């Protein structure tokens, strides 16, 4: 069967997106999804996303990592699917959609998508790193000379390290540029490599920098390999609330694929 697919990118984190409102995709075909995400034998992407109907909101996002397995929340994917829903005419400028971690408010203006992330509780600050869940699990570690870091090697050691067990964690390295701007590089589980940007990752970095008193502002800018993102938040009694991830989401091309 032939299906139209769309390629989107959000600060260089790239996704294959399919309108699956008619349930045309075999969601258990892990091997096919992995093949499509392969950069040499497929279309190439960090993740694969289905847009589906939802009973309680405008649409549902189903997210798979490049390894073909369904995973936890994807912030950049969330921003891209909002742009896709707007392109399809399912939504106008403001929406509420459902993802694996619950309902998300979002809006789109001039190609920029603001996505409300879930409240974050239980930020764990350790001596040399911070761990928190922003819809996906994130290890945040401060480094110097981030430009020269071997993110793939160092990230995979931590991701597979004893403390994160079989589930693993995404791993973010961060270097302050000023008190509200941080340079970030991320190793993503399920891609098993550095990606150009990770939305739940930069959200985790912004909150971790606040929890560690590295910033005093509630608006933080993050420089990634693929561009700049903004995270707004408010401290709550148990963590952070009103957390918003803001940045561009771009349709790159569309094509046809067969299942
Ligand atoms: N790129 C994503 C994160 C996707 C999920 C992650 N790889 C995981 O499995 O935890 C983002 O933008 O948040």
Would you kindly state where each structural domain of the chain is located, as residue ranges? 2-116+249-258, 120-248
Q: Is 65 in the pocket of ligand 1 (CB under 6 A)?
A: yes
At a CB cut-off of 8 Å and minimum separation 6, what does 23 contact? 52
Q: What is the pTM of this model?
A: 0.98
String of b and e for 79-100 (b: at least 16 CB within 10 Å)? bbbbbbbbbeebbeeebebbbe
Check: CB of residue 62 under 8 Å from CB of residue 52: yes
Question: Rounded to 5 degrees, what are φ and ψ at 10?
Answer: -125, 110
The pLDDT value given to residue 168: 95
The pLDDT value given to residue 259: 81
The pLDDT value given to residue 210: 98
Residues in the chain where the model's pLDDT stays below 70: none
Question: Is the domain covering 120-248 a CATH 3.40.50.1100 domain?
Answer: no
Q: Is 134 in the pocket of ligand 1 (CB under 6 A)?
A: no
Residue closest by Cα to atom 3 of ligand 1:
74
Number of neighbours of residue 174 by Cβ within 10 angstroms: 27
CATH topology of 2-116+249-258 equal to that of 120-248? yes
DSSP letter assigned to residue 46: S
- List the beta strands (DSSP E) in the chain: 2-10, 13-19, 47-52, 60-65, 94-99, 102-109, 112-117, 120-121, 124-125, 130-133, 137-142, 170-178, 181-188, 193-195, 219-224, 227-235, 239-248, 250-258
> What is the rounded distance in angstroms from the CA atom of residue 249 to the CA atom of residue 259?
27
Q: Is 71 in the pocket of ligand 1 (CB under 6 A)?
A: yes
> What is the rounded distance in angstroms from the CA atom of residue 221 to the CA atom of residue 244?
12
Residues labelled as active-site residues: 74, 198
Both tokens of 148, joined, read: 């020269």
Q: Which of 188, 189, 194 to mutate to test the pocket of ligand 1 (most atoms within 8 A of CB)?
A: 188
Question: Is the domain covering 2-116+249-258 a CATH 3.10.310.10 domain?
Answer: yes
Report CA(73)–ligand 1 centroid distance (Å): 6
ipTM above 0.95, yes or no: yes
Question: Rounded to 5 degrees, what are φ and ψ at 35?
Answer: -60, -45
End-to-end CA, the chain: 6
Q: Is 61 in the pocket of ligand 1 (CB under 6 A)?
A: no
Confirm or deny that 170 is annotated as ligand binding: yes
Residue closest by Cα to atom 5 of ligand 1:
74
Confirm or deny that 188 is annotated as ligand binding: yes
């Amino acid at each position: 069967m032939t299906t139209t697919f769309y390629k989107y990118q959000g600060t260089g984190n790239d996704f294959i997106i399919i309108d699956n409102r008619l349930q045309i995709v075999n969601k258990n075909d892990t091997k096919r999804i992995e093949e499509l995400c392969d950069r040499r034998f497929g279309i190439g992407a960090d993740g694969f996303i289905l847009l589906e109907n939802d009973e309680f909101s405008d649409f549902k996002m189903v997210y798979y990592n490049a390894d073909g397995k369904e995973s936890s929340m994807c912030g950049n994917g969330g921003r891209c699917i909002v742009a896709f829903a707007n392109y399809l005419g399912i939504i106008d400028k403001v929406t509420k959609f459902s993802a694996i971690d619950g309902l998300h408010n979002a809006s789109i203006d001039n190609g920029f998508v603001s996505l409300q992330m879930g409240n974050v509780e239980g930020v764990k600050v350790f001596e040399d790193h911070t761990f928190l869940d922003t819809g996906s699990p994130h290890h945040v570690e401060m480094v110097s000379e981030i430009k020269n870091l071997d993110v793939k090697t160092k990230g995979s050691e931590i991701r597979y390290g004893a403390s994160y067990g079989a589930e693993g964690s995404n791993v973010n390295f961060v270097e302050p540029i000023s008190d509200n701007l941080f340079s970030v590089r991320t190793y993503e589980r399920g891609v098993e490599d550095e990606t150009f940007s990770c939305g739940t990752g930069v959200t985790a970095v912004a909150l971790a920098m606040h929890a560690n008193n590295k910033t005093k502002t509630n608006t933080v800018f993050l420089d990634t390999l693929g561009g700049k993102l903004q995270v707004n938040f408010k401290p709550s009694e148990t963590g952070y609330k009103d957390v918003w991830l803001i940045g561009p989401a771009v349709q790159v091309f569309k094509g046809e694929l067969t299942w």
